[in-house]
Amino acid sequence: MPDGTLLLTGRGRLLTPRPYDGPGPWAIFVRDGLFAWVGPLADAPAADSTVDLGTALVTPGLVDAHTHPAFAGDRSDEAAARLEGAAYSGGGILRTVAATRAASDDDLRALTGARLRASLASGVTTIECKSGYGLSTGEELRALQLIGEAADGLPIRVVRTFLGAHAVPPEAASSAEYAAVVADEMIPAVAAAGLAEFCDVFCDRGFFSPEDAERILRAAAAAGLGIRMHADQLARTGATELAVRLGAVSADHLEQLDDAGVATLAASRTVATLLPGPALVMRDRMPPARALLDAGVTVALASDANAGTFGAWGAMPLVIGLGATLLGMTVADAVGAATAGGAAALGLTGRRGVIAEGADADLVAWDAEHEGAFALYLGAARPSRTWIGGREVSG
Ligand SMILES: [Zn+2]
């Protein structure tokens, strides 16, 4: 906990995530690691120290609600082959599984830590991290443990998700048989060890059926884990409807979502987490962001940084830019989706992703004066200064 109170002041754009509407220069009072007051500088309380951020654009710390950092190996050759016309079969995930199983604890921890540091340097202050390249009880527990160890000593806040159902491992006889192992053996072990807050399933054509996914996610909920899903990325399987029926906090991807799926989400509290990075790299269709927003669905933007379909760590500024340029979102909506939206996708509404009283004091001042920079700089907007829990972590 930082010592004393802090007053951050500025006269530029302040997105809370909605633009601050004055009057005049603004001030943010920080106490005990939380935002304690936000308002006009003229009304600000006195603090032990003051930092003037001048005319910089200021946003909440970014929340990247979908990443896969715990892996070894390199599949850039596969990306090139895919762009030359090879079909995405998902067999590539098993290549990463083999490389990850072969990696030492030290190597896997170091690789994961480097990805977390790249994310932090890009303005991400909360990041969701999935397992899913181990696909055995021991390897999945190891990945979750090493994510935790990689995060130790780094200021970035990590939320862990168990994704044992990312692919069917080569040694399993069928997806149903493996789903039973995930539900009956892995989930109790993960929950008992306290290694994850959420459980996710890759429910899609060629991966896990809605039946397999339901079995796994019901076991997860019974074990006290929150649930989220990879849904309707490759084919319209009904995964989104299952996510809503099971009360998942988030349905992620949604490239193939249709009007009926939009309506289903609109009638639920499930967040739509959109991932334009892999859709772009895979030359896939983009998820229907505009229709989701117009229907009143809470939308998050996340990177889906992973081993095989989007390898860019530290790319959340680009993802916001893609939200505005490819998904038809306003830039302010895109920033909101990467802050408050990401927080909603992690069940952290009001605690992260907003500059408002009672939220964790996670904040970024950017090397730009307006959120339009996320579109104009397209991936190159960078933090100039970052605070997490009221403590400056760079600059
Ligand atoms: Zn993913």
Task: Report the pLDDT value the prediction gives residue 284, as an integer from 0 to 100.
Answer: 92
C-alpha 373 – ligand 1 centre gap (Å): 27
Q: Which of 336, 346, 210 is nearest to 270 (CA)?
A: 346
C-alpha 388 – ligand 1 centre gap (Å): 26
E strand spans, the chain: 6-10, 26-31, 34-40, 49-52, 58-60, 62-64, 124-130, 157-165, 198-203, 226-231, 250-253, 271-274, 299-301, 363-366, 383-388, 391-394
d(C-alpha 272, C-alpha 255), whole Å:
11
Contact 62, 342 (CB under 8 A): yes
C-alpha 108 – ligand 1 centre gap (Å): 19
d(C-alpha 125, C-alpha 168), whole Å:
32
C-alpha 16 – ligand 1 centre gap (Å): 28
Task: Report the pLDDT value the prediction gives residue 1, as an integer from 0 to 100.
Answer: 47
Q: Give me the DSSP letters along 133-153.
A: SS-SHHHHHHHHHHHHHHHTT
Task: Report the pLDDT value the prediction gives residue 85, as an integer from 0 to 100.
Answer: 85
3-state secondary structure of 13: coil
Task: Report the pLDDT value the prediction gives residue 114, as an integer from 0 to 100.
Answer: 98
The residues pairing with 171 across neighbouring beta strands, listed in sequence order, are none
C-alpha 313 – ligand 1 centre gap (Å): 13
C-alpha 311 – ligand 1 centre gap (Å): 11
From first to last of its 395 residues, what are the pLDDT tens digits of the chain? 456 999 999 999 999 999 998 888 999 999 999 999 999 999 999 999 999 999 999 999 999 999 999 999 999 999 998 888 877 655 689 999 999 999 999 999 999 999 999 999 999 999 999 999 999 999 999 999 999 999 998 999 999 999 999 999 999 999 999 999 999 999 999 999 999 999 999 999 999 999 999 999 999 999 999 999 999 999 999 999 999 999 999 999 999 999 999 999 999 999 999 999 999 999 999 999 999 999 999 999 999 999 999 999 999 999 999 999 999 999 999 999 999 999 999 999 999 999 999 999 999 999 999 999 999 999 999 999 999 999 999 74
Instruction: Give the pLDDT confidence of 7-28 residue by residue, as tens digits.
Output: 999 999 999 999 998 888 999 9
Task: Report the pLDDT value the prediction gives residue 2, as an integer from 0 to 100.
Answer: 53
C-alpha 317 – ligand 1 centre gap (Å): 18
C-alpha 352 – ligand 1 centre gap (Å): 21
Q: Give me the DSSP letters along 282-307.
A: TTPPPP-HHHHHHTT--EEE---B-S
Task: Report the pLDDT value the prediction gives residue 395, as an integer from 0 to 100.
Answer: 43
Task: Report the pLDDT value the prediction gives residue 394, as an integer from 0 to 100.
Answer: 73
Contact 186, 139 (CB under 8 A): no
Contact 316, 303 (CB under 8 A): yes
Instruction: Give the pLDDT confidence of 54-97 residue by residue, as tens digits.
Output: 999 999 999 999 999 999 999 999 999 888 887 765 568 999 99
C-alpha 77 – ligand 1 centre gap (Å): 19
Contact 67, 338 (CB under 8 A): no
Task: Report the pLDDT value the prediction gives residue 3, as an integer from 0 to 100.
Answer: 67
Residues in CB range of 260: below 8 A, 6 or more apart: none
d(C-alpha 186, C-alpha 378), whole Å:
40
C-alpha 68 – ligand 1 centre gap (Å): 7
Task: Report the pLDDT value the prediction gives residue 22, as an integer from 0 to 100.
Answer: 86
C-alpha 199 – ligand 1 centre gap (Å): 12
Give the type of residue at 203. Answer: C
Task: Report the pLDDT value the prediction gives residue 233, as an integer from 0 to 100.
Answer: 95
Residues in CB range of 2: below 8 A, 6 or more apart: 30, 33, 389, 390, 391
C-alpha 164 – ligand 1 centre gap (Å): 12
C-alpha 382 – ligand 1 centre gap (Å): 24
The conformation of residue 53, written as its DSSP 8-state character, comes to -
C-alpha 307 – ligand 1 centre gap (Å): 10
Angle, CA 49 vertex, CA 45 and CA 52 arms, to 5°: 85
